[in-house]
Structure 1
Amino acid sequence: MDLRHLRYFLAVAEEGHFGRAAARLHIVQPALSMQIKALEDELGGPLFIRTSRRVELTEAGLLLQAEARRTLEQVEHTRQTIARSLRGETGRVRVGFAGNAIFSGKLTRHLRQFHQRYPDADLVIEEVGPLQQAAAILAGQIDVGYTPDNPTTSAPGIKAQRIGDWTLLVALAEDHPLAAHADLTLDQLAGQALILYDAHDAHEPLYELLSHRLGNGFSVARRSSSTLSVLAHAAAGLGVALVPAPLQQVRIPGLTYRALKAPELMANLVLISRLEEPGHAVQAYLALALGSE
């Protein structure tokens, strides 16, 4: 007994007539009669009482009618469930992010758009340091990462796509001597205790540019993977921080921002994922996020 037999059986049961059922199924009546006869032979008895005008269900036929409807409904439910999964409408997407993904609005916009389009998909969001995101993706702990570009984003098995670039600002305490200036130059940062992100290591372009431009005046006092930690250190007067321009909307008591006249220094944001991503929900999320840029 296969699903085709059940569909044929239900058509005859609902129409009460082989000719009308055959027309509904778009097959010839003799072929339909042969299929019903084969089903009856397989089950071991008659399913219909045949008269000159119509056919009626036997007791066994009535039982099969109920079971066939349940079976076909379950098959259709299964088909729709799998189809939705393949389209990315269900499933889970685990997103790791660094702070500037939030403050730039990129992350929240992507999350909102995905949730609106795929409300039954599960979104899991957590803050993950820039240098830890690629390893977390490869280990299967998260699926997508929002991070400044850094050496880990070129790791084997990782796909990285840039989704944002911003100028840099100087974040510093309101009573810092440099706060008296409306904007600052790189030369004015020479000798200052700099607060950098962990991602800005010795092989990262921003670090190399600062080292080259400031020479002996290049001094890194503190590092942190957390945006709020970087800003807190600056507000406490423990150094000056170089931060992406979108962070100026973050108001912290005692902290102020100054423009940096150094267009060659830029902050960026990349979206990273597995090079070969098997998850359909994750594929849908990436397509939406990258398509909105």
Structure 2
Amino acid sequence: MELRHLRYFVAVAEECHFGRAAVRLHVTQSTLSTQVKALEREVGGQVFVRTSRRVELTEAGKLLLVEARRTLAQAGRALDVARQSVRGETGAVRIGFSGIAVLEGTLSTDLRRFHTAHPRVELHVTELPPAAQAQGIRDGTLDIGYSPDNGLGDVDDLVVRRRARTKLSIAVRHDHELASAVSVAPADLEGENLIVYAADQDDESVLDRFEAGQAERRGHVHLVTGTLGVLALASAGVGVAVVPAAAERIGLPDIVYRPLRGMAAEVDVVTLSRPDEIGGPVRAFVSSSGRAAGA
């Protein structure tokens, strides 16, 4: 049985006349009659009683009319849902992010823009290290990534868009000697215990931006994957944290921020996505964030 058979059947049942139903459906009366007979063969009996003036439903036809209307309505809803998904109006977008993308404002700006235009799309956000974001996009567990450009590894198979450049600062406990400095250079961190974002569990990430040779002169390095964890250790006096300057918006107790100057003083925030994306909501999100970036 095809949906066409049900549509023809419902039209005849509602018009109580083959001729009027044929006009309504824009088909010939003979075509309509043939399709109804085909439906009756599948049912195994008549669904209409035909008289010279009108058409009436049999008991089987009355039961079929109720179910046919439900089936056609559900088919219409299914088609609408599919069309809405293709247009990016429904569905879900799974986003991985590093704290820097939130602090710098890129992620929240993109989320607000997209949600305003597509309020029925679900947005799932998870804080992840850069390398984990890239892998998640590759294996299909994520759709979009927001990350600093360092620590990503080889991402030639992904679309990488630069979204912002943000300055770096250090965060230290208020009684640390660097708390009184106007600004801090990488050389000033000689011998200090450093608290840095880890691109992955065993990757020192942002340390690559320090001056050559600095790594040999530093003290112990604490690798942390989350922004709040970095700041918590700094607040406890465990060491000096290297953070995006926008982290100053987080008002943790006992923390002071000082600008970091020199070759390591800036980092790019990028978005990651698949080059062959087919999901409507994800394509819509990428397009929306591209407009936000001026792409």
Task: Work out whether the TM-score is over 0.5.
Answer: yes
Provide, for residues 238-268 of structure 1, a one-character-per-residue CA deviation record: whole Å limited to 9, x for no partner: 4433321211111222211223444873122
Provide, for residues 149-202 of structure 1, a one-character-per-residue CA deviation record: whole Å limited to 9, x for no partner: 124353464333222211222323323333334x32537626362443223999
What does residue 4 of structure 1 align with? 4
What does residue 142 of structure 1 align with? 142
Q: Report if aligned partners of 1:153, 1:160 keep a CA contact under 8 Å in 2.
A: no
Aligned residues: 290
What does residue 21 of structure 2 align with? 21
Q: Report if aligned partners of 2:197, 2:204 keep a CA contact under 8 Å in 1.
A: no
Q: How far apart in 2 are the matches of 1:236 and 1:292?
A: 38
Q: How far apart in 2 are the matches of 1:177 and 1:271?
A: 37
Q: How far apart in 2 are the matches of 1:191 and 1:8?
A: 83
Q: How far apart in 1 are the matches of 2:4 and 2:14?
A: 15
Kindly provide the amino acid, as one letter, of the partner of residue 66 in structure 2: A
The offset of 1:235, in angstroms, is 3.3
Long gaps (5+) in structure 2: none
Q: How far apart in 2 are the matches of 1:162 and 1:36?
A: 61
**Matching of residues 1-293 of structure 1 within 5 Å:** 1-41=1-41, 43-155=43-155, 157-181=157-181, 183-184=182-183, 186=185, 189=188, 191=190, 193=192, 194-199=194-199, 207-212=207-212, 219=218, 221-224=220-223, 225-262=225-262, 265-293=265-293
Alpha carbons of 1:280 and 1:187: their partners in 2 closer, same or farther (altered >3 Å)? closer
Q: How far apart in 2 are the matches of 1:164 and 1:220?
A: 31
Query: What TM-score results when the alignment is normalised by the length of structure 1?
Result: 0.80
Query: What TM-score results when the alignment is normalised by the length of structure 2?
Result: 0.79
Q: Report if aligned partners of 1:190, 1:217 keep a CA contact under 8 Å in 2.
A: no
Q: How far apart in 2 are the matches of 1:98 and 1:188?
A: 27
Kindly provide the amino acid, as one letter, of the partner of residue 162 in structure 1: R
Q: Report if aligned partners of 2:152, 2:199 keep a CA contact under 8 Å in 1.
A: no
Q: How far apart in 1 are the matches of 2:46 and 2:186?
A: 96
Provide, for residues 263-292 of structure 1, a one-character-per-residue CA deviation record: whole Å limited to 9, x for no partner: 873122222234444544433433333333
Q: How far apart in 2 are the matches of 1:138 and 1:209?
A: 26
Q: How far apart in 1 are the matches of 2:159 and 2:207?
A: 23
Tell me which moved more, 275-284 or 95-104. 275-284
Alpha carbons of 1:152 and 1:6: their partners in 2 closer, same or farther (altered >3 Å)? same
SS of the residue corresponding to residue 27 of structure 1 reads: coil
Q: How far apart in 1 are the matches of 2:61 and 2:239?
A: 84
Long gaps (5+) in structure 1: none
